[in-house]
Amino acid sequence: MQLRVAVVGQPHGLRGEVRLDVRTDSPEQRLAVGSVLETDPAEAGPLTITKARVYKDSWFVAFDGVTDRTAVERLRGVALVIETDEEEDRESDSWYEHELVGLEALDPDGYTLGTVTGLEPMPAQDLLVVEEPDGRVTRVPFVKEIVVEVDIDDSCVVIDAPPGLFSEDEIVVADGSDDSDDSDEPDESGRDA
């Protein structure tokens, strides 16, 4: 199985260095100098890392044979991938994006919130992308306090969302009446309408 390690971003400087959009939890291992990475699309690689550094939480690398800004610009958007066994180096509470996409998102009471359509890596925490039944896209912080359960076998995630994160249905008064009907209220003159 192929897993994305990073996506080539914008050129940095004039000598072939490039910023990466990192998609791995272990960039020090995957992006070490000397690493040879396959690419998607395959015809762009393989690429060998000759220089790697971190500056202000961003990864910058240089590739063997890619020596100027123009050559790097042609690699923009290319994914760096590795072949891996799905269980290799896996933590008990980690999931790959392909495992999450398509799972039903439920609230703690079992009501449907939507369907997981992606996972966006962010500096602080990843965001679980959920498409609600009305088509609205909601990004949910992928932390244990909010995404309380991931059940791959039952094809669902349980999300204990804070108020306002997901769109809500029209509020119905407890007795079943719609509180927008005020025909029994007196008009401004004090008489019944």
Which position has the higher pLDDT, 190 or 43? Answer: 43
Interval 76-83 mean pLDDT:
83
From the list 153, 189, 174, 1, the residue with the least C-alpha distance to 90 is 1
Half-sphere exposure of 81 (CA within 13 A, CB side): 18
38: its two tokens: 């396959």
Task: Map out the domains of the chain with their CATH numbers.
Answer: 2-83 (2.40.30.60), 97-159 (2.30.30.240)
Q: Is the pLDDT of residue 44 over 50?
A: yes
Q: What is the pLDDT of residue 173?
A: 34
Distance CA 158, CA 104 (A): 9
Residue from 128, 46, 126, 116 nearest 79 by CA: 46
- Of 66 and 193, the structure prediction assigns the larger pLDDT to 66
Q: What is the mean pLDDT of residues 71-93?
A: 68
Residue 179 Cα to chain centre, angstroms: 39
**Alpha-carbon span 116 to 123, nearest angstrom:** 20
pLDDT in tens, 149-187: 988 888 899 999 888 888 764 333 334 444 444 444 445
